[in-house]
Each structure stands twice: as C-alpha cells, then as structure tokens.
Structure 1
Amino acid sequence: MTAVVHPAALPADLRAATIRTRVTVPLRFPDGYSTSAEVMTFHGLADGREHLLLALGGWEQVLLDGAAAPLVRVHSECMTGDVFGSERCDCGPQLREAVEDITATGGFLLYLRQEGRGIGLYSKLDAYALQDQGLDTYDANLALGHGEDERDYAAAAQMLRAVGAARVRLLSNNPDKAAQLTALGIDIEEQVATGVHLSEANSRYLAAKRDRTGHTLQLSRAGVVRPAKAAAGKAPGHSGMLARVDALVPGLRARAEEAEQLRRLPAVTVQELQDAGVFRILAPAGVGGYGLGAQSYGEAVRVLARGCASTAWTAGHLTEHAWMLARWPREVQEEVFANGHMPLAAATSAPVGSARKVPGGYAISGHWSFASGVMHSQWALLAVQLDGVRLQALVPNADLQLLDAWHTDGLRGTGSNDLRADGLFVPGHRMMDWAQLTGPDNPGSLLHRDPLIHAPMTTLLNLVAPAVAVGSAEYALDLFRHQLLMHKERNGSFVRQADSVLAQARYARAAGAVSTAQLHWQAALSLLPSEGQADAGLPEAQRAPFRLSLALAAEAAQEAVRLAAGGSGGSMHRLSHPLQRIQRDVGVLLNHPTLGIDPILEQAGRGLLGLELTMRSF
C-alpha cells in the first residue's frame, strides 16, 4: 500500500536538516534548453540517503518577497527515464518540463533517490518484466512482494524547511505526494498539474496511475507528438498521405483502450485525423478535398488499422461519406462544405425507413442501426423508401434521436449507435433518388472533374472491412514477435519463447498468413484504376476476382490473428491487452455484410466461370 506519514505518527520534534554544500551547476538538456541551478546537499536527512535540492530561477527573491509561494517539484530518481530516455514512463519529460517551469518562476526541484517508487532499480526492472506479461505497474510491485508505492517524503519536508520554504506551490499530478507533505507540515498553497507526456509505450502505465492512485491525468487530451496540420487546399499525393497517417499510429495505439472504454473515438483522435487531412482524401478539390483515388484511400485505412481498428473503421466511413456528399446537387454542397469545412456524416441503411411527401419536402420515420461515426458527425445519411423507390435523406444529427445501442464485443470504439425519427421534416433539396446518387452521372459529376466522382459507391464501401482486417493482422504480428523475443525469468534463469521450435513454427505460420492477406489485398487494389484515371466502375469480368481477393485477404488476416493470439500466453486474455482487442475487432469485421463469404464465393464462382452475376451490387 502507499506509504503515508500521518501527523500522529511523526516524532514530536522531527529533527531539522542542515545544508551541507552549495554548488552552482550549469544544466543543458538534449533538446538544447539550458539554465543553471544551485545544487544543495544536506546533513541529517531522515532516511540517510543522498538527496539533492536544485534551486532554480529567482528563488531567493521569491522567498524574500513572500507574496507567492515558490514552485516546487519533488521528483523521484528514475535512471531509465531521466538518463536513458525510456518511454515506459513519463519521468524524463516531467523532469525536463519541471526545470524550465521552476526556472521561469523561481523555486526548487528536489531530486529524491527513490528509484522505482522506492523499490530500487533492479526491482523496478523486474517489475517491467511482469508488466510485459500483462500486470500493471502497481500489481507488478505487489507480485514482487513490495508495496504499490514505498516512497516517503519526510526528507523532502526537511529539505524544504532547511531553505525556508514551508509554503509551496507543488508541481505534481500525484495526490499522495501532496497528502504526505501536508501531513509533514508543508503548506501546499496550490497543486499545479504537470503536462501529460503520453506515448504508445507508457499509455498503460499512465492509465494505471490515473485509475489506481488518482493521478490527475487527462489522457484523452494528452500530447502524443502530432504531425503538422494539413493545409486544406494542398493535396499531399499518395505517398505523402500514407506518411501522414503512419505518423498517427503511435498515438492511436496509445488511445485504443480508451476508445474501447468510451465506445467512441477520443476527441484528440478525431482532431488528429482532421489535422492530417484524412477526411479530405476522397473529396474533390472543388470542395477542399484532395481528390485522391481508391488505392490511396484503401491503403490509408489499412495503415490506420495498424494503430486502432475502431479508428480505421470510423475514419474510413466518414471519409467515404464526405465523398458521397460531393455527389449531391450544388445547393446541398454549398451548405455542407461551407468555408472549406469537411463535413462528417454517418450513413446507415439498416433497416430502410419510410418517407411521405409533405408541403416543401418529406416526412421521414424509422429506426436505423449501425451508424458508424455518428458520435462525431454533424449529419446523417439515412435510407428511406417512398412508393417502392429508395431515397437517401440528409438530416442534421441534432434533429434525430440518438440511441445508445452499441454494446458489442468488438469494434467498440466506432460508436455505431442507432438513430430514430418519427415524422421528421426533410426539405426537398436534402432528399435524393438512390439510383441517381449512386450512378456515374450523379449531380456532383457535373460540378467536379475528379475521376473518382463517377465511381460506384460500392467500390469504396467494399474496401473498408478488409483494409481494417489486414492492417490489424499486421499489428498483431508485430505484437506476437515482440512477445516471442522478450526475455522472461523462469526458475532463476532468463528464457524467451523465440527459442522454442514450436513457437518458431507458429510465428512462421502467422507471418505466412499475413503475407497471404497482403498478396490478396494487393491483387484487389491492382484491379482499381490508378490515381487520376477515369473510374466508371469495374467491368463485370473483374468484379468477381476483386471481391474474392478482398474476402480472402480478410480470412487470411483473421487466421494470422488467431495464430498470434493462440501463442501469446494467458496474459493475452486481459481486456487491456492489444492482441485481445484485435482478435475481437477482427471477429466483428468478418461478420460484416461486405465480407459475407458464402454470397461472395457464389458470385465469384459464377464470374470466374463466365456466368452472369446474379447480384447487381456485387
């Protein structure tokens, strides 16, 4: 348990520490920031350790004036983070941040020799090994016979009193640190939160600190390094776009568990997708899009899935729906694409609602399911029927009833909730005949020259699920490889799974399945027009191999995930383990209608035999 020193437990006269030496030390950090500190050592510290106090900025004037309390950071030593730059924790970035913040205002950084929350360097590294097996940072300490946090701040209180700083502003996210110092007689005038230094490697560590010990961490707003914002009017091209989405992957991995818990994408993820221009990939240049082709779109979704399947699925559909809106007449486009804004719209046709004509437009009613991305959308595209004719209604989300219905075992972060309307009025200009909207001569084709504006909508829709499956399998294989190569202690010696012949064989099979998925995926993409070429849809002779290759890519991806998960041990079954989530996500993907294997095999067989296809949308 956390070590807290209560006033009743303190000696009546906790002896005072005295300053032993003072020396000025110039400091320079790897990023170029430099300052100087007056470093102090002490006699009489309660635990007898060699703790340091760094006096920074105009600390003497702050103490002399007395108007404001000095800013103080009590920082526990972390050799791996402070010295070697380990990303498994946030200690190094916090130390760097604290030195600059304290220098700017005047105050003290206390560097306490309490490695690994007081358990020591070797034990901390032993705990890392247990964390690699699925334990969080606190349970790992407990499994080693230590407390969750063994730090004691009595020496810190002595050092602060020795320099005359019994009243401080504490720079910390840790409530226990403030509680202990208060109990030791230090007046905490204010607790100032540090920055949140999130990376893929420390996301579970930070989440555990937030959830287990109440650290004030807003991880959904945390600053994983982001790529520069995309200029709306500057198309990056195929390779440039893929580089942008690849830069998002570490942050997506870090927030994948949060997305699953929220049952929608974190706000920071949606912002990063917007900043990178993901939603502009397909939209024509005339409305602020990049006008890239289906191949760029499919590959971008696949790369996003290497970070988070729910993000890839949601982004893929929202990107496609922006392109769908560019097929509507000018009046609608001027409304939804106003000021270069890229609209986010959910779309659903399951089941089809009903419509009736009323003065000035239509009244629609229905209960629609699986509205992926609706939690982040301003608009909804809803399928309705009028006298046997299918129409699509464009409706502001605010006019619809949102039903919290997305409680699933996989793709939970997509937030694919239900929508309901009862007699909702839709102006006539926001209703389109489905056949006209999906045809090559749609109203938008008269406004934009981009070749993709003529393409059948099913071409892009069919790409999303297999793209997410293949990208997820590639991520799963990376995780499996890391698991096999990781050293673990067993019976006093260190071993690794990779040295097992059976593990080597399983990995080879998983890698082969991923390669099979990639080959089928590339075979499907090779049938699509290249960037900039006219796209009026695949000829019937190519539709069968296109859909077959996509389905087989997804099946091979699922097999690769199964092999990786089956060889990753019991820790894989923790809900927070990425492989566990990937396995569930891919399971849901393979049940999507676009990957329904039986009708695909039937129609593919007909096409490959030269027989007429019996499904128009295939």
Structure 2
Amino acid sequence: MSTVAHSVPLSAGLPAATIRTKVSVPLRFPDGYGASADVMTFHGLADGGEHLLLALGGWEQALLDGGNAPLVRLHSECMTGDVFGSERCDCGPQLREAVESIASTGGFLLYLRQEGRGIGLYSKLDAYALQDQGLDTYDANLALGHGEDERDYTAAAQMLNTLGATSVRLLSNNPDKANQLVELGIGIQEQVPTGVHLSDANSRYLAAKRDRTGHTLELGRAAVERPLQPAAGPVAGRLDMPARAAALVPGLRARAEGTERLRRLPESTVQELQEAGVFRILAPAAVGGYGLGAQTYAEVVRVLARGCASTAWTAGHLAEHAWMLARWPRAVQEEVFGDGQVPLAAATSAPVGLARKVSGGYSISGHWTFASGVMHSQWALLAVQLDGARLQALVPVADLDLLDAWHTDGLRGTGSNDLRADELFVPDYRVADWALLSSPENPGSLIHQDPLIHAPMATLLNLVAPAAALGSAEYAVELFREQLLVPRQKNGVETRQADSSLAQARYARASGALAAAQLQWRAALATLPPEGQEGPALTAEQHASFRLSLALSAEASQEAVRLVVGGSGGSAHRLSHPLQRIQRDIGVLLNHPTLGFDTVLEQSGRGLLGLGFSTQSF
C-alpha cells in the first residue's frame, strides 16, 4: 500500500451535482461472489455522461469515520473486459477485485462511461488492430489521431463531492487518477494498489502502462524487458501517412520564412511531426515504429516539401536514421529505443573521421559536416575509418562539439551543422562495420521481420533529395497557377495574367516539365518491391534505372521551377516570396551527391549497358 497523503483544499469550486436516483442492486460475478450495491445516478455532471456510483459495504459509516476514509475505485467502462471477459486488458479482474475490496471496508466504485481511455468502443477496437501490428496501447491511440489517455475525472470528483467524500483512499495503480482528483479538490489519504492480473495476452499492455504512464505494477521479468520481436506486419492499411503529412502543409508554409531565418526547424514543427508519427514511418513495429515501406516514406517527404523543403529534408533524414538504428545489434536497439520512443539521430559521413582501438572500445576524432537533423537529435551516427576499413560510430550528440556552420543560400532551415570530436571514447558495442550495417544481412535483420529492414541501405539514402525536389516543384507550379488567375486592375480594366498567350504557353511548359518529373518519379518507385513485401535485390540494370529515373525527375523538377520563376516577375525575388526560396532550395537539392547528374548518367549508362559500375558508392 502507498501511504503518501496529498494535502489539498476540500473544495475545488466544482459545479454542483445532485443525486438523480438511488436503487439497490444485488451483484453476482461468474465466480459466484456476490454483493449488494446502492447504485446512484446524477444530475449536473460536467460532461453529461451517464456515469454510475456504486456504494458498497458500510459506506455511510466510512463517510463518518474521520480516521478511515472510504475506499474508492474509479473504473472506466470496458465492455470487452467487463462484459465479455477479454484478456487483452486487466479491466474485468480489476472490477471484480474492486467490488470485493470496497464491500469489505465501505466505499464507492465509480463506473465511468469512458470506454477505451476515453476514445470510445469502436476506436478502441481499431486500436486493438494496430496493437496486433506491433504498436503499444498508447501509440495505437496516437496513430488513430487520439490522445494517449483522453479521460477526465471532473464528473467523478463531482459525484464524490455530492456524497461528502472529499477525502478518500484511492484504489488504483494509475498516478493520473490521483493527480486529477487532487487538482479537483478531492484529498487522497492513501493510494492502495490493485492486484496485478498478468497473463500472456495482456503482458505487453501492462508493461506499456508501467513504462509509459508510470502505473505502479510489479511485473515478472518477461514483461519487464521491452520485447524486440517480429511484429505481425506493417500498418500500411491503417495509417495514411501521406494524408497526415498533407494536413501539416498549411502550417509549414506559414512558418517557412521563419524556419529559414531560424536556420533550423521550429520546435512547433518538430512537435507536429512527432504527433503525426512522421519519425516512426520506417522504424520496425517492435520498437515503436510503423514498419512502413519505401514508397510511403518517399511520398511523405514529397508531400512535406509542398510546405517547406527544409522540413521535408530534415524529417526525411530523421525517419531514415531511425531505420538505420534498427539495423544495429540488439544492445544498441535496447539502449536507443528502450524508453518506447523512436530516437532522433543525425548521420554524417563527410569527411570520414579516424578511429583508434583502445581498451573497451575506440577513440574517435574528426570534423564532420552536413549533419542534417542534428539540431533536434540525441544521437549522431558518424563515419570513421580504422586501418582502411569504414566503421560507423554511434555517439550522444551531447558528447560532441556542435559547430554553427550552416550558412547557405538554400535549405537554410535544415540546420545541417558540423560536428567535431577529439579523442572521444566510444564503447565497443556502439561501433559497427559499415559494410555489415548497410547490407541486407545486417544485425537488425535477425531481430525484425519487417521487409524494409532487409533492404540495402542505399535504397532509402537516394530518395530524400529527389522527393523534396518534386514536392517543391509541385508547390511552385501551384503558386504560379494561382498568380496567373488572380484578377488585377490596370488603367481601370480588370485583367488576368492567365489571359496572356505567353503566360499560357509558359504555364503549359512548366506543367509539362512537372508531369515529366512525376512520371520519372513513379518509374523509380515502381522499380522497388511492392509496399510491405521483401523482394530480391535489384539487378545492376534495375539499380541503374532507379537512380537514373530519380535524377531525371529532379532535373525536370528544377526545370519546372525555372520556368515558373521566369514568368513570375520581379516580385518573385523578394525574400518574402516563397518562389525565390523554392528556387534556392531546389538548387541545393540538385547539388546533393545522390543527384550528381554527371556521375548518375555515367554509372547508369554503364549499368544499362551491362558494363558494371566503376564506383562502389553508386
């Protein structure tokens, strides 16, 4: 039993509620236990819900006994557990236990009509389906657009206040119930834990309650360890991530100018991306991700770029880096994913640092550039070499020097600053061979069955830049169309730029360039295995076609932007106009190594001709 008492005022200014009916009801449970309850209903409850209060045992005497407050249980309705005996939760056994405990001492069971932690029965069953795909009970709610826990206990406090139960002994493992009652003016004389009703079916559910919301639950070792086991499959059918990304676009556009001035993403943007689940797209379900595929990931980056290219770039890389961390051995995954959150990590390989073997690990030194996402990351993945072999070191960002070096003409909002270390110790388990991590047989592939975890690392590394270029071009053509159709007054005559044959021709050319970019984009994605399926490795010819289509898509995207800006007049070059930012952003995107056009043309030509690639990095 917890014996911590909360000192609170006896009145929290709650709206008054009155007893509507009181009726005696005999109770009988499937195991034969029976009790008698005075069931009360109320007028004036704040949420208008049909909540019940069951007064049990010597409840009247408990109200009069100043030294022993009534025992109270706030029990949220659970049809599946309370009525049908579902073992996916512990609600049914808790209800049965609470009635007997309260009847023996005197007090109240408040049966609150807050199914599924307040999201409703249908949504709870939808959340069960997501839990079958690997999400925990809280992330399933978030994935459906709900809060982790939407319950409010104002009505419960009103009912207790009406009966004069302003100080209670609370039968609960949930700290939020105690905290809310205290804030509502109900004193907690003692918090009494319920029993632990653990089964194979609810062990993950109980572990999530303990780990995510601090429930006081003592579970066995099997439930203490966060499982890293294959999930049942991707949740692609349940999560429309491109639609979620599209919902963020208006806000991203409104903040784009400020993002550029800030030279990193605003915290409000990062929070929105977190809440939308963008960083979870690629991480396996068993570590809190959604386990989705390359096509969904690429489309989300493309959609985000319609709002802000810097946001698309940063979010795309942070999601990608979580996928990279899931390829590491179990010890690293337990460390970085252990709190139930998908970690944010920067990754950089230019230039490669140096590693020196020391006792228990490595000493690394280097100055790394272009660390995209570092302004929001807890970890950094750094390329180092030892005796000519390339390794990757995983280092807390707090252990590195962060250098303010990102002063560029485009993608300014990415904050892709530099990192530096001088003889920094990194333990053995956080250094791995790059060739192993980047291969289909990476250590994470032995832990997870998500198809994408078996894909070569290069599959995703080449997608962000062309996706962001295409989304930016789509936004630019949209802006141009709006500009052409706006009526303007000139010498008292209303005109539109769209009525000019030259403007019509330019818009047609820009639209054609954009259509070409979209066609090449779809051709590139069609080369990859279908979403949620593990296909064979791409042949050299397929890989050449994949890279060539991405590069041609990006080149056509840049051409569409050039045509748009060229027909938008001098006002498009004001720093407040989004077109000038799009033009600068797409210029930087096409200078990224994955879109280095001369190299892509040369190597793609070799691959298509069956000559083999002349560089391993292609």
> In structure 2, how many angstroms separate the alpha carbons of the residues matched to 1:605 and 1:270?
40
Match of 2:561 in 1: 561
Given the superposition, is the C-alpha separation of residues 537 and 263 from structure 1 closer, same or farther in structure 2, using an over 3 Å criterion? farther
Q: Deviations over 1:104-143 (max 9, x none)?
A: xxxxxxxxxxxxxxxxxxxxxxxxxxxxxxxxxxxxxxxx
What is the aligned partner in structure 1 of residue 296 from structure 2?
296
State the Cα deviation string for residues 76-123 of structure 1 (Å, max 9, x = none). xxxxxxxxxxxxxxxxxxxxxxxxxxxxxxxxxxxxxxxxxxxxxxxx
Aligned to 2:376: 376
Q: Is residue 550 of structure 1 aligned with residue 550 of structure 2?
A: yes
SS of alignment partner, residue 370 of structure 2: strand
CA contact (8 A) 2:540 2:608 kept: no
Q: After TM superposition, list the pairs within 5 Å mapping 1:156-555 onto structure 2.
A: 228=145, 235=235, 237=237, 240-535=240-535, 537-555=537-555
- Secondary structure in 1 aligned to 2:413? helix
| Distance in 2 between residues matched to 1:553 and 1:229, nearest whole Å | 37
Judged with a 3 Å threshold, the aligned counterparts in structure 2 of structure 1 residues 238 and 500 are, in CA distance, closer, same or farther, namely: farther
Q: SS in structure 2 opposite 1:327?
A: coil
Whether the 8 Å contact between 1:227 and 1:247 is mirrored in structure 2 is: no
Tell me if the contact between 1:229 and 1:275 (Cα under 8 Å) persists in the aligned partners. no
How far does residue 617 in structure 1 lie from its aligned partner after superposition?
3.1
Once the two structures are TM-superposed, the CA of residue 228 in structure 1 deviates from its matched residue by 3.4
Return the alpha-carbon distance in structure 2 between the equivalents of residues 537 and 482 of structure 1: 44
**1:492 shift after superposition:** 2.1
Looking at structure 2, the residues matched to 230 and 439 of structure 1 have their Cα atoms a distance apart, in angstroms, of: 38
Gaps (5+ residues) in structure 2? 1-142, 149-207, 209-230
Contact 2:244 2:276 (8 Å CA) reproduced: yes
Could you tell me how far 1:541 is from its partner in structure 2?
Answer: 1.9
Tell me whether 1:600 sits opposite 2:600 in the alignment.
Answer: yes
Distance in structure 1 (CA, Å) of the matches to 2:459 and 2:532: 16
Q: Distance in 2 between matches of 1:240 and 1:602?
A: 38
For structure 1, the 5+ residue unaligned runs are 1-225
CA distance in structure 1 between the aligned counterparts of 2:542 and 2:147, rounded to whole angstroms? 36
- Partners of 2:548 and 2:498 lie apart in 1 by 35
Q: Distance in 1 between matches of 2:530 and 2:498?
A: 41
In the superposition, the TM-score normalised over structure 1's length comes to 0.62
Once the two structures are TM-superposed, the CA of residue 230 in structure 1 deviates from its matched residue by 8.1
CA contact (8 A) 1:227 1:244 kept: no
| Alignment-derived partner of residue 148 in structure 1 | none
The one-letter code matched in structure 2 to 1:434 is W
The one-letter code sitting in structure 2 at the alignment partner of 1:503 is A
Pair 1:291–1:431, CA change in 2 (3 A): same
Alpha-carbon deviations, 1:409-464, whole Å to 9, x = none? 00000000000000011111100011111111111111101111111111101011
Q: Quickly say closer, same or farther: Cα 1:412–1:600, change in 2 above 3 A.
A: same
8 Å CA contact 1:544, 1:604 repeated in 2: yes
My pick for the range that moved more, 230-239 or 538-547, is: 230-239
Give the C-alpha shift of residue 229 in structure 1: 5.7
User: 1:353 is paired with a residue of what secondary structure?
Assistant: strand
Alignment-mate amino acid for residue 248 of structure 1: L
Partner deviation per Cα, 1:140-165 (whole Å, 9 max, x = no partner)? xxxxxxxxxxxxxxxxxxxxxxxxxx
Rate the CA distance shift 1:362–1:536 in 2: closer, same or farther, 3 A.
Answer: farther
Mapped to 1, the partners of 2:438 and 2:147 lie a distance apart of 30
Amino acid in the other structure paired with 1:499: D
Any conservation in 1 of the 2:517–2:557 contact (CA below 8 Å)? yes
- What is the identity, as a one-letter code, of the residue corresponding to 1:467? A
Deviation at 1:346, TM superposition (A): 0.3
Deviates more, 1:473-482 or 1:332-341: 332-341
Q: Report the AA paired with residue 539 of structure 2.
A: P
Change (3 A) 1:252 1:537: farther
The alpha carbon displacement at 1:536 in A equals 5.0
Distance 1:463 1:504 in 2: 33
**Conserved in 2, the CA contact under 8 Å of 1:548 and 1:600?**
yes
Counterpart CA distance in 1 for 2:449 and 2:307 is: 34
SS in 1 for 2:274: helix
| CA–CA distance in structure 1, aligned partners of residues 614 and 425 of structure 2 | 37
Alignment-mate amino acid for residue 492 of structure 1: G
- Secondary structure of the corresponding residue to residue 270 of structure 1: helix
- Cα shift at 1:569: 1.1
Secondary structure class of the residue paired with 1:311? helix
Tell me the secondary structure at the aligned position of residue 265 of structure 1. coil
Give the CA deviation at 1:537.
3.2
Alignment size in residue pairs? 393
* Aligned residue type for 1:292: L
How far is 1:238 from its partner? 7.8
Instruction: Return the offset for 1:615.
Output: 2.2
Name the CA distance, whole Å, in 2 between partners of 1:408 and 1:423: 30
Structure 2 distance, partners of 1:541, 1:594, is: 18
CA separation in 1, counterparts of 2:238 and 2:283? 14
Counterpart Cα distance in 2 of 1:465 and 1:424:
32
Residues 345 and 381, structure 2, Cα contact 8 Å, conserved in 1: yes
Aligned to 1:610, what secondary structure does the other structure show?
Answer: coil
**Higher mean C-alpha displacement, 350-359 vs 229-238:** 229-238
How far the C-alpha of 1:604 sits from its partner, in A, is 1.1
Counterpart for residue 616 of structure 2: 616
Runs of 4+ aligned residues of structure 1 deviating over 6 Å after TM superposition are 230-234
- Rounded to whole Å, the distance in 2 between the matches of 1:536 and 1:328 is 22
Asked whether the 8 Å contact 2:236–2:292 carries over to 1, the reply is no
Identical residues among aligned pairs (%): 75
For the residues of structure 2 that align with 1:362 and 1:227, how far apart are their CA atoms? 44
Structure-2 change in CA distance of 1:583 and 1:238 (3 Å): farther
Q: Which amino acid in structure 1 is aligned with residue 301 of structure 2?
A: V
Q: Give the CA deviation at 1:535.
A: 4.1
Residues 330 and 444 of structure 2 are in contact (CA less than 8 Å); yes or no, is this contact kept in structure 1?
A: yes
- Residues 603 and 614 in structure 1, CA contact (< 8 A), matched pair in contact too: yes
SS of 1:296 mapped into structure 2:
helix
- Offset of 1:493 from its aligned partner? 2.0
Task: In structure 1, give the amino acid aligned to 2:423.
Answer: G
Q: Kindly tell me: are residues 481 and 370 of structure 1, through their superposed partners in 2, closer, same or farther at Cα, counting changes over 3 Å?
A: same
Which range moves more in the overlay, 527-536 or 554-563? 527-536
Q: Which amino acid aligns with 1:308?
A: C
* CA pair 421-316 structure 1, distance change in 2 beyond 3 A: same
C-alpha distance in structure 1 between counterparts of 2:249 and 2:601, whole Å? 34
